[in-house]
């Protein structure tokens, strides 16, 4: 027997050991190349590879056609189910399933459990005609007895929808050599995936990794005919790539460029986009793709939420800030002269593709401002984020997009994005419409939004939130929620990252007026998010006005911007 099918990593665990799990599980139709591409991927990664059919033959002591003939398909599916269950809990290489295995409910349950623990189920999609011919030429397939081509197509029609729904990664191999397909699979298997669900939310994935944009067609699905690609001039290199991917997937693409940053989040811009959609004949079954920074994904989501009362959309964030904040969670909106994001809706995307390749064109200062929202997630929920930020502060502050993808910093940033998205997903899943828990995501935003407004959006959001967090910490200390050491912790970490911790503005009354317009305010009552301790936020309602003003004066000391 070929050594690659021996199970040197398939072993019985001691009772006190945690289960080991496959690096990736491959599913797909007969003839899709699961064994060839899977074994090649394993060889490149120096991992073991196991084909479920070969493992079954080892277990039963005969080949599968013989077993089918002697015991029938139901008995085979029972053995297959047991082998897959064992391998999913006791094997740490690349594991390929037989074509029909994912149709068994018990196997589906095992695969979902595997994905819940961070596993990647990869649907390997070849050209159906090529896969059908390979499967037919290969022979020895009990499910293709009789008219092989007709039976293959019937099975494909049954299985393809199930495979698409089950997998959390889809790899198209049309026209690729086996090695190129293996490299693509490795790239996509290395993605980090955060699954977002909850009451009132149609589940979707946030996919984080180098090459995540390749999943654009899979996220949009087959129903849309027309796709509006909404983007800014500053990301033209990435929008060109997205446009090519969309057209290659068969969509009619309407290219819509909007102004950069907050200048694009206006009713005038939104109205111009609505006019384009109307002129292009966009229907309820068509879709929107928002590609750019946080402001762009905000307005793209708002357009999707309002066009014909809601059409499908996918967010493709190209900045760190957008990846960890604006693109996830379903908050969409535009600004008005009276305040930021006062007009908008809660409308979740069909998917979020955070492609790390887009960060290679990001200027250093734009990257650093995104760290403000990352730090916020650490202060309110995940202190491990704060540890990572402190440990890698010098490298993060020296971010250089040109060398980023080849540097050790890539994995650090990927982990920070994943952890931040998990924090946001937790709050969103439990409170989509911001009536309770989700308000904690606004830590630092009451003052931060006031700064943005009073600076006419010359201050970037992440920088304003950094100062806003210091303000919230000062207010929490003044009202007895935390001690001064945690205030200093804010200042020290944010300074290490290159973020501002103070702001000069002459009029407290100006700030107070905008605080009363904050979305968390209720009537004339001011409400703030503060900390009781690191990782434990709380609401502070109607604090003493002298504390509100004193905290304002404290952030004006020793200006850093």
What pLDDT, in 10s, does the model give residues 190-200? 888 888 887 77
Residue 319 annotated in ligand binding? yes
Q: Which residues of the chain have pLDDT under 70?
A: 1-18, 131-148, 431-436, 519-523, 557-561
Residue 36 annotated in ligand binding? yes
CATH of the domain at 376: 3.40.50.1970
Same domain, 233 and 320: yes
Chain centroid to CA 270: 25
Residue 92 annotated in ligand binding? no
Nearest-angstrom CA–CA distance, 200 and 372: 29
Residue 510 annotated in ligand binding? no
Nearest-angstrom CA–CA distance, 90 and 21: 6
What total of structural domains would you count in the chain? 3
Q: Which of 109, 86, 101, 75 is nearest to 22 (CA)?
A: 86
- The reply to whether 140 falls in a domain is yes
β-strands 312-317, 351-355 pairing:
parallel
Q: What is the pLDDT of residue 131?
A: 64
Residue 262 annotated in ligand binding? yes
Same domain, 186 and 196: no
- The reply to whether 305 falls in a domain is yes
Residue 181 annotated in ligand binding? no
Q: What is the pLDDT of residue 142?
A: 54
- The reply to whether 146 falls in a domain is yes
Nearest-angstrom CA–CA distance, 82 and 534: 45
- The reply to whether 13 falls in a domain is no
Angstrom CA distances, 538 to 380, 421, 436, 469, stand at 9, 20, 10, 14
- The reply to whether 433 falls in a domain is no
Residue 70 annotated in ligand binding? no
Spell out where 153-236 has E strands. Answer: 169-172, 192-196, 204-209, 226-232
Nearest 5°: CA angle at 94, between 103 and 81?
Answer: 30
Q: Which domain holds residue 113?
A: 24-190
Nearest-angstrom CA–CA distance, 536 and 439: 13
Q: Which of 9, 145, 153 is nearest to 86 (CA)?
A: 9
Same domain, 155 and 296: no
Last residue of a domain, one of 190, 218, 243: 190
Residue 31 annotated in ligand binding? yes
Residue 34 annotated in ligand binding? yes
Same domain, 52 and 87: yes
Same domain, 213 and 357: yes
What radius of gyration, in Å, describes the C-alpha atoms of the chain?
26
- The reply to whether 345 falls in a domain is yes
Nearest 5°: CA angle at 543, between 538 and 544?
Answer: 155
- The reply to whether 17 falls in a domain is no
Residue 296 annotated in ligand binding? yes
Same domain, 476 and 414: no
Residue 332 annotated in ligand binding? no
Residue 175 annotated in ligand binding? no
Residue 264 annotated in ligand binding? yes
- The reply to whether 561 falls in a domain is no
Residue 551 annotated in ligand binding? no
Residue 466 annotated in ligand binding? no
Same domain, 179 and 236: no
Residue 35 annotated in ligand binding? yes
Same domain, 376 and 504: no
Residue 373 annotated in ligand binding? yes
- HSE toward the beta carbon, residue 228, CA cutoff 13 A: 32
CATH of the domain at 84: 3.40.50.300
Same domain, 165 and 220: no
Burial pattern 523-534, b for ≥16 Cβ within 10 A else e, equals eeebbbbbbeeb
CATH of the domain at 498: 1.20.1090.10
Q: What is the pLDDT of residue 1?
A: 31
Same domain, 219 and 323: yes
Q: Tell me the CA end-to-end span of the chain in Å, nearest whole number.
A: 68
Same domain, 456 and 549: yes
Same domain, 217 and 297: yes
**108, 112, 290, 192: CA torsion to nearest 10:** -130
Q: What is the pLDDT of residue 483?
A: 95
Residue 173 annotated in ligand binding? no
Q: pTM, whole model, 2 decimals?
A: 0.78
Last residue of a domain, one of 136, 155, 190: 190
Last residue of a domain, one of 155, 190, 225: 190
Q: What is the pLDDT of residue 40?
A: 94
Residue 290 annotated in ligand binding? no
């Amino acid at each position: 027997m070929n050594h690659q099918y021996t199970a040197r990593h398939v072993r019985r665990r001691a009772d006190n050991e945690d289960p080991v799990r496959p690096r990736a599980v491959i599913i797909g139709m007969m003839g899709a190349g699961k064994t060839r591409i899977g074994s090649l991927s394993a060889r490149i990664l120096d991992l073991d590879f196991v084909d479920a059919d070969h493992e079954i033959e080892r277990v039963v002591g005969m080949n599968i056609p013989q077993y089918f003939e002697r015991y029938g398909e139901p008995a085979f599916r029972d053995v297959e189910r047991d082998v897959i269950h064992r391998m999913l809990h006791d094997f740490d290489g690349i594991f390929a399933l037989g074509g029909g295995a994912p149709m068994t409910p018990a196997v589906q349950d095992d695969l979902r459990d595997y994905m819940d623990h961070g596993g990647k189920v990869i649907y390997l999609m070849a050209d159906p005609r090529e896969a059908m011919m390979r499967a037919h030429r290969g022979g020895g397939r009990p499910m293709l007895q009789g008219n092989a081509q007709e039976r293959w197509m019937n099975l494909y029609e049954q299985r393809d929808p199930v495979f698409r729904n089950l997998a959390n990664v889809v790899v198209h191999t049309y026209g690729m050599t086996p090695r190129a397909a293996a490299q693509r699979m490795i790239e996509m298997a290395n993605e980090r995936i955060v699954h977002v669900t909850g009451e009132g939310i149609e589940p979707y994935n946030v996919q984080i990794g180098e090459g995540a944009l390749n999943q654009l067609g899979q996220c949009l699905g087959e129903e849309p005919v027309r796709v509006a690609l909404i983007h800014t001039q500053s990301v033209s290199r990435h929008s060109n790539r997205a446009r090519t991917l969309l057209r290659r997937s068969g969509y009619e693409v309407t290219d819509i460029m909007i102004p950069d940053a907050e200048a694009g989040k206006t009713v005038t811009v939104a109205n111009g986009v609505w006019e384009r959609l109307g002129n292009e004949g966009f229907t309820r079954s068509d879709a929107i793709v928002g590609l750019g920074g946080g402001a762009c994904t905000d307005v793209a989501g708002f357009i999707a939420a309002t066009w014909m009362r809601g059409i499908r959309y996918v967010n493709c964030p190209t900045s760190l800030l957008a990846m960890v904040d604006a693109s996830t969670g379903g908050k969409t909106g535009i600004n008005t002269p009276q305040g930021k994001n006062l007009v908008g809706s809660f409308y979740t995307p069909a998917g979020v593709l955070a492609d790390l390749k887009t960060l290679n064109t990001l200027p250093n200062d734009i990257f650093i401002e995104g760290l403000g929202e990352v730090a916020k997630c650490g202060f309110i929920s995940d202190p491990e984020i704060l540890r990572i930020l402190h440990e890698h502060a010098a490298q993060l502050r020296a971010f250089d997009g040109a060398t980023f993808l080849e540097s050790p910093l890539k994995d650090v940033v990927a982990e920070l994005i994943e952890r931040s998205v998990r924090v946001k997903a937790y709050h969103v899943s439990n409170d989509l419409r911001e009536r309770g828990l989700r308000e904690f995501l606004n830590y630092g935003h009451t003052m931060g939004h006031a700064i943005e407004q009073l600076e006419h959006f010359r201050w970037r959001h992440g920088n304003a939130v950094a100062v806003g967090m210091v303000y919230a910490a000062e207010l929490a200390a003044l009202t007895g929620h935390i001690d001064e050491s945690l205030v200093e912790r804010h200042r020290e970490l944010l300074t290490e990252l290159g973020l501002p911790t103070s702001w000069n503005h002459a009029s407290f009354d100006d700030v107070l007026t905008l605080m009363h317009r904050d979305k968390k305010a209720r009537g004339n009552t001011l409400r703030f998010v503060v900390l009781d301790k690191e990782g434990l936020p709380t609401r502070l309602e109607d604090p003493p006005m002298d504390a509100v003003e004193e905290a304002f004066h404290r952030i004006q000391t020793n200006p850093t911007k």
